[in-house]
Amino acid sequence: MGPNQPRGLTRREFLGGALAAAALGACRAPREIPGELLGPNHTLGHKLRVGGFAEPAQIERIPVVIVGGGAAGLSAGWKLLRSGMGEFIVLDLESKAGGNSTWGENEVSRYPWGAHYLPIPGPHAHAVRELLRELKVITGEKGGRPIYDEDVLCHAPEERLYIHGRWQDGLYPRIGAADADLAERDRFHAQIAALRRRVGNDGRPAFAIPMEYSSRDPEILALDQISMAAWLDHHHYRSPGLRWYVEYACRDDFGGKLEEVSAWAGLHYYAARGEGLDDSFLVWPEGNGYLVRKLAEALGPRVRTGALAFDVVPDKDGVRVDYYDGATGQTRRILAKRAIVCAPRFVARRIVKPLREDKSRSDFSYAPWLVANLTVDTPPAGVGAAPAWDNVIYGSEGLGYVDATHQTYSLNRRHAVWTYYRPLTGNPDAQRKTAYATSLAQWREQCLADLERSLPGLRARVTRLDAWVWGHGMILPKPGFIWGAERRAAAKPQGAIHFAHSDLSGYSIFEEANDRGVRAAEAVLAAMGKPFRSSL
């Protein structure tokens, strides 16, 4: 031992220090991190299950009623209003509209409780681009391509991954990758690039967003019949790093593992965006809460919250909609010419009479999710690559965290809000039951234990942690579902009742919800003889 090297502890010193630490610990209780366990309005949801609603205390006549105030319902209302048709209302059971794009806010920042970004919309997302122009997110055009407000284009660094004890730039696990792993990665990206360029025998792109613009070529649609795991096996992709990378995408966008997700859906995630398109993201502190908030503001008092629609019935003059008003405790009735039901299918089957009477089994399956928002004092950076907007942990059951305060990042900032995402993969019914039985303290411990793997000491810097359980967070595109008969049939109107929700596309992203809402609104306008300029 050299003169400047520290000597080891003697047994007496070790025992003395241990006893002192134990005494100190006995005097200090563990710090309780405040927070709430949140979720959709279970009080009104429970009333839908038990029924027993009173007869209507009031009857209104309104030309169009929209049931559901998520992205699809708000987009439908936006299209009606832009077309000069302002005689409609939107019913939503929550205290504010937004669906799974809802958001929260504290003294530090707004933050998402669901969808947290919008990819730069491609050339087929006409209605989304129209909306972004109206919101001045698209500020102009150059060479036939939109120009976006730089304040909402995701600032660098966009993504980092924690693996082998340090952070690296980007999400593909490069640290520790062998030459064979990198060769598989390059082969996969080359195959995806070819799929981006592929055109089906009907002249349509193989994969497009919105999905209705995609090819119906039988060879391409056959990909929906197998899982993403089977597709990787067929093409001899064995690299653990690559398979993790692809599964991360499936968990992130669909809430399912490789074996649970259709290969068409898994490939669509990569091939419908990126090369040849802008591949950045549009981000706001509250995520896509910004978009639904702006849509709801545009519709104003036409949006009625705390309103539980429980009976949608076709009649000879159009549609009868009964709803429970949570503010007054009364049942109200609306007589409308047309209705657009923008609820997820499992809800629509409870409230729309023709669907309620159909006792056939449904293939619509929904992935449960946990989302937590952590307010962090002097946020730690970790070892390696600098903090990014999206921060992912290799091998974790969670997806890491998104920094809601990323766009205002500065090296000397004191506070941040991080949004932690975890898809509850596996049997959805079992996971949903477990999730509902899990306490805030248990979710808090799971979340912090996961994040502290990459950021030791984080727990001491968290000043608040709130959690939100989505029992039916998003539609799960199981093999055979997207291009199956049930999904296609579910998207068709029944008389004067139209349907619009992202689950009618088979996967849950804003572009699909917007497209479904706009399509339904245009069908209503056409049926009522109202002029409009198509956004599709």
Choice among 206-215, 260-269, 275-284, 371-380 with the minimum mean pLDDT: 275-284
Distance CA 423, CA 252 (A): 8
Per-residue pLDDT at 46 = 80
Q: Give the per-residue pLDDT at 277.
A: 47
pLDDT band of 388, cuts 50, 70, 90 = very high
This prediction's pTM: 0.92
* 424 neighbors 254 (Cβ within 8 angstroms): no
Strands of the 37-38 sheet, one edge to the other: 37-38, 462-475, 366-377, 415-423, 401-403, 390-393, 159-163, 166-169
Q: Among 1-5, 153-157, 249-253, 353-357, whose mean pLDDT is lowest?
A: 1-5
Q: What percent of the chain has pLDDT over 90?
A: 88
- C-alpha 101/C-alpha 116 separation (Å) is 8
- Indicate whether 214 pLDDT > 70: yes
Which pLDDT band holds residue 6 (cuts at 50, 70, 90)? very low
8 Å CB contact between 469 and 435: yes
Q: 133 burial class (0-12, 13-18, 19+ CB within 10 angstroms)?
A: middle
Count other C-beta atoms under 10 Å from residue 353's C-beta: 15
81 phi-psi bin (left φ>0, alpha ψ -120 to 50, beta other) = alpha
What does the alpha-carbon distance between residue 410 and residue 50 come to, in Å, rounded to a whole number? 51
Which helix (H) or strand (E) segment holds residue 324: the answer is: strand 318-325
Please determine, for residue 143, whether its predicted confidence score (pLDDT) is greater than 80: yes
Compute the distance between CA of residue 402 and CA of residue 80 in angstroms, rounded to an integer: 34
Pinpoint the alpha helices (H) of 60-103.
71-82
Mean pLDDT of the chain: 92
Structural tokens at position 366: 């929904």
The pLDDT of residue 409 is: 66
Of 163, 205, 65, which Cα lies nearest the Cα of 395?
163
Q: Which of 129, 132, 127 is nearest to 532 (CA)?
A: 127
Q: What is the pLDDT of residues 420-451, one digit of tens each?
A: 999 999 999 999 999 999 999 999 999 999 99
Q: Report which secondary-structure segment, H or E, holds 91.
A: strand 88-91
Are 448 and 30 in contact, with CB atoms under 8 Å apart? no
pLDDT score for 410 = 55
Q: What is residue 217's DSSP assignment?
A: -
Res 47: pLDDT: 85
Task: Give 29's pLDDT tier (boundaries 50, 70, 90).
Answer: very low
CA distances from 435 to 32, 38, 75, 286, 423 (A): 22, 12, 31, 24, 11
Residue 155 DSSP symbol: P
